[in-house]
Chains A and B, each alone.
Chain A
Amino acid sequence: MSDNTTRDSTDAAATDGGVKTEQYLDKEINLFKPATPFMRDNLRAMWGLFALWAIVVFGPTTAVLIAPDVMTGTEVLGGFPLHFFITAVVTPLGALVLSAVYAYQRDRLDTKYGISHEDDVETDSSETVAADGGDR
């Protein structure tokens, strides 16, 4: 069905020897039950940032509901009502910052588990990658 004629012929060799791949392919994927150390670390970062994101996105409008006078009565930057400014400018910025933090966290996680995304690195010898991180 997906005939990929340009497929790299070294694939099979590169992935067959990978003990780690085997291990990951045998563990169940369930959002609430991380089965591998990598998944546990990844999900910890995800849930923490997700909670912050929920506050950034739905917090301001909920605050308007709870404390309307504070949110609509306060003026910032020469005239913006506080709720208007936060929703229009701060919330998108918050999501952007959280996204960058997550991408950075994932890069650190990759380093911790000795993962490199350079395509032409030989992935079958994980020692090499771990020993001299400066491949390429």
Chain B
Amino acid sequence: MMDPVVLDSALDIGFKTVPTLILVGMLALFLGVGYFFRVAAVDELWVAGRSIGSVENGMAIGANWMSAASYLGVAGLIATIGYFGLAYVVGWTTGYFILLIFMAAQFRRFGKYTAPDFVGDRFYSDWARGIAAFTTLVIAFVYAVGQASGMGLMSQYIFGVSYETGVILLMAVTIGYVALSGMLGTTKNMAIQYIILIIAFTLGLYATGWAQGWSLAVPYLEAGPQVAEAASLEAQLVEPFAFTSYYGWIALTFSLIVGTCGLPHVLVRFYTVDNERTARWSTVWGLFFICLLYWGTATYAAFGGLLYADGPGDGSFMDMPGGDADSIVLLTAQLAELPEWLVGLVAAGAVAAALATTAGLFITASSAAAHDIYTNLYKENATQREQLIVGRSTILGIGILTTIIGLNPPALIGELVAMSFAIAGSIFFPVFFLGLWWEKTTREGAIAGMLVGMVISFGAILNDTAIPMYTGVETAVIPEVAAYLPGTASALIGVPVVFAVIIVVSLLTEEPPEDVKRLVRQCHSPEPMHQMDSAEDVAADGGSPADD
């Protein structure tokens, strides 16, 4: 693993007026939209009154999904670890298919507020809900650290401030922004954020292709000669298993795919649509919008690699420092000598990506704390006002914690985010999947499974990243374990183990009550449901009087 923060950067660090204005204008627009669509009611804060259509929700899925990890991290990973980096491209796009066929519409039919809500109701246990809420908070935190890191890097170029100042400044803006707007404002904003980030990303790529005479209309297909040239400089770029084994590649891809299906802030997007058909089509639209960016990441890596080797890299690029790798998209535009406003737009787009995702993460974290922990576990009759206060304090708390860790992040942006996917994949994916598809999954099975998932995924991260980082030792605590259970890809082992635990414990314990089974059946029934209904309402309505 490379040093994440470096002092000497190839970035042109210095205050730039036009890029600053672009970023400030963008933030003003987001806050304006957030203010215009501000909300006070709980139903609107978290699920936007369940009124969002499929293209708009698809864009929101895209913006929510594409963080600094997609915008900056993936291209940097391909440029430094070659074909292994493409595991991120595959894992972070194709997972949506699994989400679509197995989970999207069923989650919409379940129709509650949050992922912990699902776990708590499906597994009829406040303990299960508490574990799920805690996991949601951890995921939001690990994921957001990567975003803070991206914000710091971009601030260096835009404002000319130090990395640390940039992290603090932009995280403060994010916290203020999320607290001021709610989910409705956020959903509207997310469509705008998607448009801004995809234009910024694509324009930077096209302009680089034009300026260098490398591509004209479709750089994704035209970059063959540049990939070949980059590969002639650095053969490892296209060497399939130079940085990992076949096992490592598959493990990472699998982990990112199941993580996609287990991320609370992704699932909550399906609660906001008007019906399950919209849930399905917005997934398709979302994947399309996501692909538009991911197709460009390998091209950026090739273009950026060549320009880097030509300039600061002195003939090579794969050994560039971590900070440069994470800024390769911006560096590509800068080294191609594009006009300052355009480079600034690329940087601002990265900030938009980081901000949009962080907003989504903080919203899920705040609802986990206010709704699932405070209201459901601690104070049953909490008022809406109390919930809002708890939610906002959570945003503030997790924001400050993220900022502190983000000042000295333990890994590259893409790797940090991959770790939160491994957590989501090992802990949430099995309980979501079995909870929806096997009605005899019991409370005891789910709790045992989530605890085992925690041990595996947290243990893997502690082993190869967290403990080495804070003890100053270079290698993993137990290197043999790290080879098969990397912190970024622990779900390939975690998921089958957790599935087995859940199934065995479920078979050994008492079957779930009949009303829970009916709840599961209602999630799969083809009968349309009303917009504001949840599966619980319908299952109870149609049930025998003895229920309840």
Contact = CB atoms under 8 A, between A and B. Distances in A.
Contacts of A71: 240
Interface in B456-478: none
A132 interface: no
B542 interface: yes
Which 4 pairs across A and B sit closest by C-beta, in order of nearness? A79-B228, A79-B224, A78-B224, A95-B94
B315 interface: no
Given A117-B277, A119-B530, A92 B89 contact: yes
B437 A96 contact: no
**Size class of the A contact interface (CB-based, 8 Å):** 35 or more
Interface of B: 43, 78, 83, 86, 89-90, 93-94, 96-98, 100-102, 105, 112-113, 220-229, 231, 238-241, 246, 249-250, 253, 257, 274-278, 280-281, 283-284, 287-288, 291, 294-295, 297-298, 376, 436-440, 517-518, 520-528, 530-534, 536-539, 541-543
A39 interface: yes
B97 A99 contact: yes
B379 to A, nearest CB: 13
Given A6-B532, A98-B97, A117 B438 contact: no
Nearest to B99: A99
Q: Please classify the interface of chain A as helix (H, G, I), strand (E, B), loop, or mixed, using the class held by over half of its residues.
A: helix
Interface of A: 1-2, 4, 6-8, 11-12, 14-16, 18, 20-22, 24-31, 38-39, 46, 49-50, 53, 56-58, 61-62, 64-65, 68, 71-72, 75-81, 83-85, 87-89, 91-96, 98-100, 102-103, 106-107, 109-110, 113, 115-117, 119, 121, 123
Most buried by A among B43, B98, B231, B526: B526
23 contacts: A8-B533, A11-B537, A15-B538, A15-B541, A15-B542, A20-B526, A21-B527, A31-B438, A57-B253, A61-B240, A61-B249, A65-B240, A88-B89, A92-B294, A94-B94, A95-B96, A96-B284, A100-B284, A103-B281, A109-B526, A117-B277, A119-B528, A119-B530
Nearest to A52: B97
Contacts of A29: 436-439, 517, 520-521, 523-524
Contact of B528 (A89, A102, A116): A116
B526 A24 contact: yes
Contact of A123 (B98, B521, B528): B528
A22 B543 CA distance: 8
Contact of B277 (A1, A4, A110): A110
Nearest to A45: B101
Contacts of B229: 79
Given A2-B534, A50-B101, A100-B284, 13 more contacts: A14-B530, A15-B542, A24-B522, A24-B526, A27-B521, A28-B439, A29-B517, A29-B520, A53-B97, A79-B228, A92-B294, A102-B101, A109-B526
Contact of B287 (A8, A38, A99): A99
Contact of A4 (B228, B249, B521, B537): B537
A1 B117 CA distance: 11
Contacts of B101: 46, 49-50, 102
Contacts of B522: 24-25
Contact of B295 (A4, A92, A103): A92
